[in-house]
Amino acid sequence: MADAKSIEPQESALVRAWNWLTETQVWTSIFRHAAPINDRNRVLVMLSNIFLHLHPVRLKKHGVRMRYTWCMGGLSFFLFLNLTFTGLLLMFYYRPTLEYAYTDIVGLREHVPLGIMREMHRWAAHAMVITVWLHMFRVFMTGSYKPPREFNWNVGVIMLFLTLMLSFTGYLLPWDQLAIWAITVGSNMARATPFLGNEGPGASLLAIGDVRLIHAADDARFALLGGTFVGEGALLRFYVLHCVVLPLVIGFMMAIHFWRVRKDGGISGPL
Amino acid sequence: MNPLLAVIITGVVLFAAQLLFILLFRTKPSPSEAAHREATAPGAATPGAATPVVAKPGVTPLDDVALAGRTTTAAARIAEVIVPRTADDMSPLMGRRGWMGLAWGAFTASTAGCLAATGRFMFPNVLNEPPQQFTIGFPEEYVEGVDERWKIRFGVWVVRTPFDEYHETSGFYALLVTCTHLGCTPNWLSAENKFKCPCHGSGFRPTGINFEGPAPRPLERARIVLAEDGQILIDKASKFQEELGQWEDPEAFLAV
């Protein structure tokens, strides 16, 4: 029977289920703060979550102004995450050998459902090169390389180099004519490395009597290709660089980069 | 077109469209409207409360004491009472809530589509595995006994026998090379006239019957028939198990 005097508001089943869920031991062991209804709790939300703690607790208002940052750093990071994820999926199908590399790439389009995974990886790679350059351009034009941010500028320059190397090493992996000759041309530049390149300035000085220490089979280009021409050694070497070495290094550099942004006072302000 | 792709593309297009609409129709309130809002907002606050909450212009008057210990949902409901919502979007088609619902719906749909597509990616349409059905040449190319020539390529032993007790005649049967214990590949030991599994020592007679070790049942036989050109055709897709009485099936044995 209904009691007309009851004034206790009845919460809906959804709200009651939510309240029960947020009081369970499982929930409270994961989320160790109350609802983010005041500044203190909002800070705790950011500090007690490994993903959110990458973000600063407070942002300056101009930090989210699209016309100031162009969001190019964020977009570069987003594309890197995309590339990591799609690249991992591609590794399930791609084998870096002379026999299989090209046919596996064709198979990624023809034999695998939704053959756009490789295209996503390819276009995101092109886009990341562009966004990284535009990010650098924005940082330069807003003077954000000036002290105390000069260290982070240098970290960024290294990451620009790593991005280009990731693009370069990934270029070879389809193992078609374009890839082989592009890497042949590109790696020929390493012949001209000062001292360490076979044809570079100063290389002829490194010699014992008439015996040259730097020659075609031990110079910088050889170290890059794992051979004297773009062959099986180069394919495997570029694959390992592309999938393991360079992503690990650029990941570490990103951690330093983001950490330094906060230590140096957040995103620089408008002039 | 692949339905998953369609879902993803539709979601992205809807999401972009609603963003465009919100940007297009979001206009700042006119000065008179803004003044009206400031005048009415404190007065409309908490009809039941003894003292109305006075808010600074532009600051949401959340009362931390009243909200302490409450969940987000309850806090949101109280905040709704204190500060009444005002229609501040100028879109002619639907309100801000409508657009936000459409946005989240489209975002959720395209995210779910992407996840489903990623799962589907792990199941290729083409397999580079040895065929289940193959021809192995003419009967006269085989002598009596266990023939190992197709063991590695196709995974069968072809046995020619002068007398098979299940069919009471001479002919061929094909034994699968998978041990019935835990799936290793046994070796044919011709000197001892038996199949011996190197993993746990299961032993099988040339017929496929198990007689030692942990194997619980005989090796399986594959379908074996004559193809139209007179060659022996083996089909591993249909298997015959002795303990189920299937070895007496006419296709489990090729009488020659």
pLDDT digits (tens, 9 = 90+) for A70-120: 999 999 999 999 999 999 999 999 999 999 999 999 999 888 887 788 999
Closest among B15, B43, B175 to B106, alpha carbons compared:
B15
Check if A112 contacts B (Cβ < 8 Å). Answer: yes
Long-range pairs for B241-250: beta carbons < 8 A, 24 or more residues apart: B241/B217, B242/B208, B242/B209, B242/B217, B242/B218, B243/B217, B243/B218, B246/B221, B247/B166, B247/B173, B247/B221, B248/B166, B248/B167, B250/B167
With an 8 Å Cβ cutoff, are A15 and B126 in contact? Answer: no
Find chain A residues with C-beta within 8 A of B124's C-beta.
93, 107, 111-113
The answer to whether the CB of A143 falls within 8 A of the CB of A151 is no
Determine the distance in angstroms separating the CA of B62 from the nearest CA of chain A, rounded to an integer: 8
Please state the rounded mean pLDDT for residues B30-50.
51
Residue B150, Cα to own-chain centre: how many angstroms? Answer: 33
* pLDDT tens for each residue of B220-238: 999 999 999 999 999 999 9
Find chain A residues with C-beta within 8 A of B4's C-beta.
114
Cα gap B5→B13, rounded to integer Å:
12
Beta-carbon contacts of B26 under 8 Å, excluding residues fewer than 6 positions away, are B89, B90
B210: confidence class by pLDDT, cuts 50, 70, 90: very high
At A211, is the secondary structure helix, strand, or coil? strand
Higher pLDDT, B129 or B182: B182
Query: Is residue A165 predicted with pLDDT exceeding 50?
Result: yes
* pLDDT tens for each residue of A40-78: 998 999 888 888 888 888 888 888 888 888 999 999 999
CA distances for B13 relative to A10, A119, B95, angstroms? 41, 19, 20
Please state the rounded mean pLDDT for residues A251-264.
93
B48: confidence class by pLDDT, cuts 50, 70, 90: very low
The answer to whether the CB of B82 falls within 8 A of the CB of A47 is no
Check if B60 contacts A (Cβ < 8 Å). Answer: no
Q: How many CB atoms lie within 10 A of CB A138?
A: 16
For residue B14, give both structure tokens. Answer: 């809807």
| Torsion angle, alpha carbons of A167, A173, A177, A180, to 10 | 70
Beta-carbon contacts of A134 under 8 Å, excluding residues fewer than 6 positions away, are A70, A72
Q: How many CB atoms lie within 10 A of CB A30?
A: 10
With an 8 Å Cβ cutoff, are A114 and B122 in contact? Answer: no
Long-range pairs for A137-145: beta carbons < 8 A, 24 or more residues apart: A138/A69, A138/A70, A138/A72, A142/A68, A142/A268, A142/A270, A142/A271, A143/A268, A143/A271, A144/A267, A144/A268
| Torsion angle, alpha carbons of B7, B8, B14, B20, to 10 | -170
* pLDDT tens for each residue of A185-241: 999 999 999 999 989 898 888 888 888 888 888 899 999 999 999 999 999 999 999
Check if B23 contacts A (Cβ < 8 Å). Answer: no
pTM comes to: 0.71
**B234: β partners:** B134, B224
Query: Kind and range of the H or E element at B212?
Result: strand B210-212
Q: How many CB atoms lie within 10 A of CB B204?
A: 23
User: Do β-strands B156-164 and B145-147 pair in parallel, antiparallel, or remain unpaired?
Assistant: antiparallel
Length of chain A: 271
Find chain A residues with C-beta within 8 A of B64's C-beta.
37-38
CA distances for B178 relative to B42, B54, B100, B204, angstroms? 81, 81, 59, 12
For residue B135, give both structure tokens. Answer: 């021809």
For residue B120, the chain A residue with the least C-alpha distance is A113
The answer to whether the CB of B25 falls within 8 A of the CB of B90 is yes
Single-letter residue type at B138: F
Single-letter residue type at A225: L
With an 8 Å Cβ cutoff, are A111 and B5 in contact? Answer: no
With an 8 Å Cβ cutoff, are B73 and A15 in contact? Answer: yes
Determine the distance in angstroms separating the CA of A35 from the nearest CA of chain B, rounded to an integer: 5
**B147: β partners:** B158
Check if A15 contacts B (Cβ < 8 Å). Answer: yes
Determine the distance in angstroms separating the CA of B125 from the nearest CA of chain A, rounded to an integer: 5
CA distances for A51 relative to A48, A249, B50, angstroms? 9, 20, 43
Check if B62 contacts A (Cβ < 8 Å). Answer: yes
| Torsion angle, alpha carbons of B86, B90, B96, B99, to 10 | 170
Q: What are phi and psi of B233, to 5 degrees?
A: -115, 130
Query: Kind and range of the H or E element at A129?
Result: helix A117-141
The answer to whether the CB of A219 falls within 8 A of the CB of A208 is no
Residue A193, Cα to own-chain centre: how many angstroms? Answer: 27
Query: Closest to B5 (Cβ–Cβ): which among A35, A36, A114?
Result: A114
Check if B126 contacts A (Cβ < 8 Å). Answer: yes
Q: How many CB atoms lie within 10 A of CB B105?
A: 14
Higher pLDDT, B172 or B97: B172
- pLDDT over 70 percentage in chain B: 70
* pLDDT tens for each residue of B130-150: 889 999 999 999 999 999 999
Instruction: Describe chain B by its helix, strand, coil percentages, rounded to 5.
Output: 35, 20, 45
* pLDDT tens for each residue of A211-223: 888 888 889 999 9
Query: Closest to B126 (Cβ–Cβ): which among A36, A37, A107?
Result: A107
